[in-house]
Chains A and B, each alone.
Chain A
Amino acid sequence: MRRETQRLILLLLPAGIFFTGFFLIPMADLFMIGGSGKTGWAAYAAILTDRNYFNSLISTLAVAAATTVATLIISGISGVFLQRHKFPGNAALVAMLTFPLAFPGVVIGFMVIMLAGRQGLIGQITQAVTGEKVVFAYSMAGLFMGYVYFSVPRTILTVMAAAEKLDPKLEEAARSLGASPLRVVRDVIIPGLKPAFISAGAICFATAVGAFGTAFTLATRINVLPMVIYTEFTLSANIAMAAALSFVLGAVTWIVLALARTAAGSTVAAAG
């Protein structure tokens, strides 16, 4: 009824005003500023035409893709395992695996330093064993490690939730038809978890593309797009280029998520 529609519009108003004023308008501004630099609208193509930016784009996408694959494998194995086998200590394991759920990127970076930094555990062990200290925290490998660290807890939760809904009868049916455990995984479990994999993978990928804190903590030299944007903005004061690059970055992540959502059906939540 009309009265009710009016009421609903009124209720939507606060969020609408806030969102328009502080997100839609600023984003539109950002878009305009991106085209206002020395190179004009060509700034939006710079990510492809400029060798340096293009390289950063490639390495950003590469580390994000590697993170996604590694996270899905790790979380797939552990998530299904923990959902299927209820043994004493299971709950404790789940609690530990999901403990770092809300660590901010900077803290994740620090965790990587604790493991693989100059005073890190891996360095100490390798020095004791081989006499040579292995330190990789301040490189792409460290960043990769950090992103996996960041993504595993939430992905495990998603996989566990999806595995809970998998019908064990399907698996039993496959077994009764003589399928080997490997075939069961391939023919029953992975297809059943596919929507969860797609959505969790997309979130994983998008966060890895856009995250900034971890790279910032590890080293300013790491050549990924968020770092490039940050440098353009603060050091070179090239606001137009920073704007263009971040707009493109934002568009890329948003599209990845939107595509994944259509692929996995409406159940995908962008819970990041």
Chain B
Amino acid sequence: MNKPLSITLENCAKTFTDGTRALEPLNLSIREGETIVFLGPSGCGKTTTLRIIAGLEEPDAGGKVLFDGEDVTTLPIEKRNVGMVFQSYALFPNMSVAENIGYGLKIRRESQAALRTRVSEMLGMMRIEALADRRIDQLSGGQRQRVALARALAVRPRALLLDEPLTALDAKLRDTLRLEIDTLLRRLNITAIYVTHDQSEAMALGDRIVVMEHGRVAQIGSPRDIYQKPATRFVADFIGTMNRLNGAVRNGVFTCRAGDMPWATAPADASEILFRPEDIQVTESAEGSTLRGTVAAAFYLGDRTRLFVEVGEKQPLVVESAARRDFSHGETVGLAIDPRGVLIL
């Protein structure tokens, strides 16, 4: 196996010929062997960044792409030796599964024997031996995805680039394949860049996540950092569910329309607090609570109930309760917030 690659982007911006500014100047270094995930809403420039790394787009003048410190900015994709998995798979309809997987080796003029060995190795790795002679249009979505991965990996690329590889699949299959990809990437110890707009995918796969917004990086960090310490409101809202309450702090008590919340370490100037659904609980009884709201909607999910609690703010609070009881619409409930989970941005 090749030594894993480190990738550095210096000052990479992208303006398309029609004037669309897809990417603001971006600096990023990706360490060897790490899995980095680009996460962000549609149109934020994830694919564009990936394509710049792949060599399918050139950055605007002044931008530089370095592979292991070597400038590859003007090197076309076919000379970069990166594996790429496309959202639409881009499997060649004129070739069988085995021919697709062996194509990169054929281009590299590998011997027939070496080619055959490697192809069956890849078929085995993705557990699709039985499909070797199938035509592409005889494959299911999940099978196509496996072939696309096998094809990209067959040439032992220096890095693997994946652009929303699971978006076209149904939820169940997505979970299975996500696990497989995760195992694979860790086993191969390959530098991987994974584009997605699905935050749970990003959290599960990424060593680090790059959250993007309008062509800019909003935050780079480990999944835990991104979730627990979002750097901006955008990140806080985009990742997971965030509750917010407006109010003021006086004498260690945060007061808002829903009532009072004792908070010893409260900063004096906090006027809006943010917290996750798992940091707020429904108390045993409404009477004993200083913080109260009325149930606007309750969805029984089996293991818990997801409540939308009206507290006089713009958005109702999202609260998850494991209590074995029914909640009825309009019912008043008491609430308790764990101050350790409170964020101020």
Report A's interface with B, CB cutoff 8 A: 1, 3
Contacts and interface: CB of A to CB of B under 8 A. Distances in A.
A15 B136 CA distance: 34
Contacts of B57: 1
Contacts of A1: 57-58
Contacts, number: 3
3 A-B pairs with least C-beta separation? A1-B58, A3-B76, A1-B57
A3 B77 CA distance: 13
Interface in B38-77: 57-58, 76
Contacts of B58: 1
Nearest to B57: A1
Nearest to A3: B76
3 contacts: A1-B57, A1-B58, A3-B76
Interface string B66-99: 0000000000100000000000000000000000
- Bin chain B's interface residue count: under 10
Nearest to B55: A1
A28 B150 CA distance: 57
B65 to A, nearest CB: 14
Contacts of A3: 76
A237 B299 CA distance: 92
B209 to A, nearest CB: 30
A1 B17 CA distance: 10
Nearest to A1: B58
Nearest to A4: B76
A3 B76 CA distance: 10
Nearest to B58: A1
A108 to B, nearest CB: 40
A3 B58 CA distance: 11
Contacts of B76: 3
A8 to B, nearest CB: 14
A192 B76 CA distance: 48
B77 to A, nearest CB: 10
B74 to A, nearest CB: 9
B286 to A, nearest CB: 56
A93 B310 CA distance: 72
B75 to A, nearest CB: 11
B169 to A, nearest CB: 30
A1 B77 CA distance: 12
A1 B57 CA distance: 8
A3 B57 CA distance: 12
A1 B14 CA distance: 13
Nearest to A2: B58
B307 to A, nearest CB: 44
Interface string B293-325: 000000000000000000000000000000000
A4 to B, nearest CB: 9
A74 to B, nearest CB: 39
B277 to A, nearest CB: 46
A13 to B, nearest CB: 22
Nearest to B76: A3
B57 to A, nearest CB: 8
A1 B58 CA distance: 7
A122 to B, nearest CB: 53
A3 B75 CA distance: 11
A198 to B, nearest CB: 32
Interface string B215-234: 00000000000000000000
A1 B76 CA distance: 10
A3 B78 CA distance: 14
A1 B74 CA distance: 10
A3 B74 CA distance: 10
A121 B76 CA distance: 70
B268 to A, nearest CB: 56
A229 to B, nearest CB: 47
A211 B72 CA distance: 59
A2 to B, nearest CB: 9
A44 B298 CA distance: 82
A213 B76 CA distance: 54
B269 to A, nearest CB: 52
A191 to B, nearest CB: 35
A3 B55 CA distance: 13
B294 to A, nearest CB: 48
B55 to A, nearest CB: 10
A83 B86 CA distance: 40
A80 to B, nearest CB: 32
A66 to B, nearest CB: 47
